[in-house]
Structure 1
Amino acid sequence: MRLNRDMEDMMPDPSPATYPFTSGAAVYVRELGVDISDLLEKRVYNRARARGVERVTQAIEGKIERGVGTDMPAELEVLSYPIARMIVSCIGDDYLIRRY
């Protein structure tokens, strides 16, 4: 865990959407108050789920491109990260788990 803290200290602006793996992003997601079941089931989060799948696909292909700067709202970009983590955990592939 110390490595992540060191990385956070080096980042000039650790925006949650740009660095969804940081503790700051985790706090941001908690503060959004989105329940995990809502994230997985509610229609309003369809784009976040689709982006989560896209993140995993990109990890398999060896490159994870940032969705920030596109038409994806930063909030949905941040929420796509836990979706990708859940997918990777369910797959159980060591390579993908290391990527996330």
Structure 2
Amino acid sequence: MARNRTYCGDIEYMQSVTIDPLTHERIKQSDKSQRIIKKAKHPAIIDTEMWNRVQEAIVSRINHNLVSDGSKHAIVGIVVNKDIYCRKLRCGCGRRFKKI
């Protein structure tokens, strides 16, 4: 919810692109400069200034001790645990186990 631009009264176009029109296969647009942002007709729940401050807070909280091998985890901000049991084991609810 905090990353959704529609709550501040804007609409963001070109977030994904259709590769194949027959199978409707889409990929996410990684280049944010090609996205189009327009003011919507619906009222904003939060103002744009507050939404920008939330985005800055989200970026500041990303763990920057990441794997530097160019994997997808380095982009998202997910720390890959070196312990094999922490990577493989899952709780009944679906969460991963952590070492304390």
More helix by share: 1
TM-score, normalised to structure 1, is 0.25
TM-score, normalised to structure 2, is 0.25
- The structure with the larger Rg is 2
Structure showing greater relative contact order (alpha-carbon pairs closer than 8 Å, 6 or more residues apart): 1
